[in-house]
Amino acid sequence: MFSLSRLHAYWIQGVYTYGVLLFCCGLYGQGSMYSFQDYKMGTAFEIKIFTEDTSDIYAAVQAAWHRIDEVNDIFSDYSTTSELYFLQHQHGMPTRVSPIFSELLSTSLSYSRCSRGVFDVTVGSLSRLWRRAIKMNELPSKSRIDTALKYVGFDKIKFEGTTITIPDGVLLDFGAIAKGFAVDEAVSVLRSKGFSAMMVDGGGDLYVGDAPTGSDGWKVLVTLQLKNRTWIDTTMDLTNKAIVTSGDRFKFILDAKGRIFSHIIDPHTGYGIPGPHQTTVIASTAMHADALATSISILCPGKIRQFRRRWRKAFPLDDSNWTYFKSKLK
């Protein structure tokens, strides 16, 4: 179930997401802000809608929640009933996939090619290894990492039209793109129902739509890390943009030498990238911002410039003017 709260124009409402604080503030014109919360995809989701007419608001939000559930039912690697789980138990047999799976897999493979394998949905064997390691607070052994690496590489899977062949042992993980995709799908649903002045936040994957009446946009306070894990804040007005932050503030391993290993894994080495670090990306969609945040976290500055050029060729119809803030804190 979801809850509804009404926020009048003269109130200031702050919502903290990972590395981002959203303020819905200012003297709005006619209309009010409505907030809905639910737990989806293993994290807290929130929808905010600014509107005068609330006659269809409940139905619209319910439809958005349902769409997020549909995405999760396809890409979850926790559920034994997901399409992803089914595909990974076909023992190398060619299998037809749903249109949504085909769409996101195709996009993911484009990212893999653009990033030269830094973004790789076949990282599943490593992500599961590091997920357990972080839970146990124990660094994986080199032999376990080397074994998992044998099953990583986007060129190992065959994907033609709507048919995929996944070799035994290769595990897919859409964790670096599926949540952003789900946010975008919810945004599309809300827009189709007539609500364009809205915000969808999926555990820090944030998209803001049209500016509420009487405002210059959605005020977003971006918190950036400096050395010694101190913080500075910068505020910006955003409309029809997504912003995503990726970092190791909450998910990391500290080894015996005091080195920080992030939950973000470099598919080339098999190790979590060294921290502390944080990357924030502003892009045209949450899906792009999500995948970009992971890719840029791993890439060095020179490689990022090359990646941007390849990205523009791979996604010529998308807004290529994405912005990023990357903090390497050592």
Task: Kindly report, residue by residue over 256-267, the tens digit of the pLDDT.
Answer: 455 677 778 999
Residue range 27-72, pLDDT digits in tens: 445 679 999 999 999 999 999 999 999 999 999 999 999 999 999 9
CA atoms within a 13 Å half-sphere pointing along the CA-CB vector of 42: 10
pLDDT at 320 over 70: no
Share of the chain above pLDDT 70, in %: 82
Those residues whose C-beta lies under 8 Å from the C-beta of residue 92, and which sit 6 or more positions away, are: 165, 166, 167, 168
Kindly report the pTM of this predicted structure.
0.87
Mean pLDDT for the chain overall: 84
Q: Are 273 and 293 in contact (CB under 8 A)?
A: no
Q: Please, what sign has the CA dihedral across residues 307, 310, 312, 316?
A: negative
pLDDT at 228 over 70: no
Conformation bin of residue 187: beta by default, left when phi > 0, alpha when psi is -120 to 50: alpha
Q: Are 163 and 154 in contact (CB under 8 A)?
A: no
Phi, psi (deg, nearest 5) at residue 70: -65, -40
Q: Which helix (H) or strand (E) holds 19?
A: none
pLDDT at 174 over 70: yes
- In the chain, count H helices and then E strands: 8, 18
Q: Provide the 8-state DSSP code for 231.
A: E
